[in-house]
Structure formats: C-alpha cells, structure tokens
Amino acid sequence: PNLVNQIAAGEVIERPASVVKELLENSVDAGARRIELLIEKGGTERIRVSDDGCGISAEQLPLAVTSHATSKLPDDDSLFHVGTLGFRGEALASIASVSQMLIRSRTEAGSEGAELRIRGGVLEPVAPCGCPQGTSIEIRNLFFNTPVRRKFLRTPQTERGHIVEAFTRLALANPQIHMVLSNGDKTLYDLPQTERWVDRIEAFFGGEVSDSLIPLDSDDGQIRISGYACDPAVSRGNNRMQYLFLNGRFIRDRSLQHALGEAYRGLLMVGRFPVGFLRVSIPPEMVDVNVHPCKLEVRFTDGGRIYSRVLQTLRHRFLSTDM
Ligand code: ADP
Ligand code: MG
C-alpha cells in the first residue's frame, strides 16, 4: 500500500509547494480562521501548517493519513471542492508516504490533543499531547525515501518561490482568513482577515497596483463576475498579475486569460500588461473539475459563453466614462 501511495504522490506531490497547497486547502476546509505556514530551506527541510479549524479526533487521526479516507461529504463536491475533487482522501496519505510527518490536533470536544508520527508511510501509535484546538501538520525531509525525486528538487530559493505562489493563490481566494507565512524566523506575510479584497491584493502586489484597479461586477443570472482589473491607461502591473478564481478556488485557464488579454487589446501602452483579479461564480453543473490531477484546470460545459461574459464585462468597464 505504501508503494501505491508513493505512486499517487508522484502524480500530485511534485515539490514542496504541492504539499503546501494540499495542507492549506485542508485547513480552509476545516473552517480555520487563522492559518500559519512555516517553511525552512524552501520547504525541502521543513513545512508546517497550523490552523485553528475543527481538528481531528484521536480515533480519526490514523484514518486521515489512509488512502481514500475523507471526512468530506460528497454533496458539497462541485462548489466547495472544485480545487480538490478527484484527489479526495489521498493527499495526506500520499504526502505521508514520502516524508516524515507529525500531526498534532485537538477538536473542540477533545479535552486533550493527540499526535501521530508517520515515517515514509509507516504509522506510529497515536499518543496524547497538549495542543490548542485545531491542527498542526509538520513535514520534514520531503522525498527522503524517494531519492530520485529528492534529487530533482531545485534550489531552496526556487522552491520557496513556488511556495509563496501557492500561499498567494490561497490567501487571495480566502481574505476572510488571517494568514501568516514565515520563512525560518522571518515573517514574510502577516495578513489579517479583511472584508476588502483589495487590501489583500495590495499586501501582495503593492499600492501602486492596487491603486490602479477598477472594480468589476456583472451577473447574467448564472455567471457572476467580480473582482478588479487594472485601468488600462495606468496599468503598472507585470504579466504575472493575472489571477482567476472559480467558485472560490484558484484556477488556471488559457481561454479566460486570453479573454483578459483581448479586453485590453488596443488600450495598453507598449510594455504594459493586462492585470486582473477575477472572481467567476457559476452553477456547479457548468463545470467539470475532474480534468487535472491538481485541479488547477477545469473544463467548462459552455466555455464560449464564459469567455464572452469575461470579455464583455471588462470591455464594458474599460469603455465606460466613470472610470
Ligand atoms: P481530502 O481533503 O480530500 O478529504 P486529505 O488526504 O487532504 O483528503 O485529508 C484527509 C482527511 O484528513 C480530511 O478529509 C479531513 O478529515 C482530515 N484533515 C486533514 N487536514 C485537516 C485539518 N487541517 N483539519 C481538520 N481535518 C483535517
Ligand atoms: Mg485535502
């Protein structure tokens, strides 16, 4: 079974940032209001995610790291799990099979916490421990038992860059959560929860970008588009500032990225880029999330319609005079 988990890990756990993504998503799913991510050496040595979410009971702990054990109900699939569906109940088992993992957790009802150590997929007995409500999962020495993959890790700076990107995506998708990222003893981001999405955008991309953003809002009864795009006349961003969130999850989508570029066509000065932070909400039946193993990419039942909604919403906004 450990070999199976290691193979599964190969599909989805490419590098430390993949671990970070899975752990952060679990904390969000657990209803956390505060999530702290700590990394060392670009996550190759240590990754720890601590949250104040619902916690895992001592009896459930071994199940949480067993393949296909998920506590998440199937009826919230399409909306809630647009980011994780299809890989459900495998992330922790896969990560545990290729690392040294320590989980400490306490539920609200639990009078004390419980801890579980797993080394290369081998579980130690669950032991009691003192800990606050919530869950803390620490990963050490990722890929220690799969030397080929360990060897393919890049420099700590490169791996850290990918982690920061995963953190950015999740923090942008969840402004209601206080999120902290530390690299060793240095705090890189400490983002209090906020009602104003633009605050969080500013925390990552600076005031010059956030000041040039104009709000978007359109709704055709099924497709709702909100968020921000840079005023084409003053766009200051770079070509990486294009973030798309579908039903609350970050996705990558070539077609919608193209729509963003099209909306800016003819409006940008040379050397300036389209910048957009778009939130698209659609009914779950209009999307198939079972395409990409990490669920970064989706397939729309009517991609053309969403494409035109995005293009029209932006274009209309850019051409209106009250910008
Ligand atoms: P999935 O998220 O698809 O259910 P995972 O392997 O990521 O699968 O997690 C397995 C299970 O472990 C989850 O269903 C959940 O019950 C539990 N779990 C994992 N992380 C947390 C967390 N931070 N807080 C509470 N429960 C968690
Ligand atoms: Mg998960």
Could you read off the pLDDT of 164-219 as tens digits, one per residue? 999 999 999 999 999 999 999 999 999 999 999 999 999 999 999 999 999 999 99
Tell me, yes or no, whether 97 lies in a domain.
yes
Task: Report the CATH number that the domain containing residue 140 is assigned in CATH.
Answer: 3.30.565.10
Is the pLDDT at 10 greater than 80? The verdict is: no
Tell me, yes or no, whether 197 lies in a domain.
no
pLDDT at 293: 64
Is the pLDDT at 73 greater than 80? The verdict is: no
Tell me, yes or no, whether 181 lies in a domain.
yes
Is the pLDDT at 80 greater than 60? The verdict is: no
Q: Are residues 151 and 27 in the same domain?
A: yes
CB of 36 within 6 A of ligand 1: the answer is no
Whole-number Å distance, alpha carbon 25 to ligand 2 midpoint, is 6
Q: Are residues 62 and 6 in the same domain?
A: yes
Q: Are residues 253 and 221 in the same domain?
A: yes
Q: Are residues 45 and 125 in the same domain?
A: yes
Q: Are residues 11 and 127 in the same domain?
A: yes
Number of structural domains (the chain) is 2
Whole-number Å distance, alpha carbon 2 to ligand 2 midpoint, is 18
pLDDT at 269: 87
Is the pLDDT at 71 greater than 90? The verdict is: no
Q: Is pLDDT larger for residue 106 or for residue 269? A: 106
Is the pLDDT at 278 greater than 80? The verdict is: yes
pLDDT at 259: 97
Tell me, yes or no, whether 120 lies in a domain.
yes
Q: Are residues 183 and 39 in the same domain?
A: yes
Q: Are residues 219 and 312 in the same domain?
A: yes
Q: Are residues 257 and 187 in the same domain?
A: no
Q: Report the residue among 37, 52, 70, 139 best suited for mutation to probe ligand 1: largest number of ligand atoms under 8 A from its CB.
A: 70
pLDDT bracket for residue 83 (50, 70, 90): very low
pLDDT at 321: 53
Q: Are residues 45 and 90 in the same domain?
A: yes
CB of 235 within 6 A of ligand 1: the answer is no
On whether ipTM exceeds 0.85, the answer is: yes
Q: Are residues 172 and 230 in the same domain?
A: no
Of the chain, the end-to-end C-alpha distance in Å amounts to 59
Whose Cα sits closest to atom 7 in ligand 1? 91
pLDDT bracket for residue 42 (50, 70, 90): very high
Is the pLDDT at 47 greater than 50? The verdict is: yes
pLDDT at 79: 41
Rounded mean pLDDT of the chain? 91
Tell me, yes or no, whether 198 lies in a domain.
no
pLDDT at 88: 67
Tell me, yes or no, whether 196 lies in a domain.
no
Tell me, yes or no, whether 199 lies in a domain.
no
pLDDT bracket for residue 322 (50, 70, 90): low
Please write the tens of the pLDDT for every residue from 95-132. 999 999 999 999 999 889 999 999 999 999 999 999 99
Q: Is pLDDT larger for residue 107 or for residue 271? A: 107
Residue numbers of the domain that contains 304: 209-319
pLDDT bracket for residue 237 (50, 70, 90): confident
Whole-number Å distance, alpha carbon 26 to ligand 1 midpoint, is 5
Q: Are residues 175 and 30 in the same domain?
A: yes
Q: Which residues of 140-157 are buried (b: 16+ CB within 10 A; e: fewer)?
A: bebbebbeebeeebeebe
pLDDT at 239: 83
CB of 53 within 6 A of ligand 1: the answer is yes
Task: Report the CATH number that the domain containing residue 279 is assigned in CATH.
Answer: 3.30.230.10
Percent of the chain surpassing pLDDT 70: 91
Tell me, yes or no, whether 313 lies in a domain.
yes
Q: Are residues 19 and 140 in the same domain?
A: yes
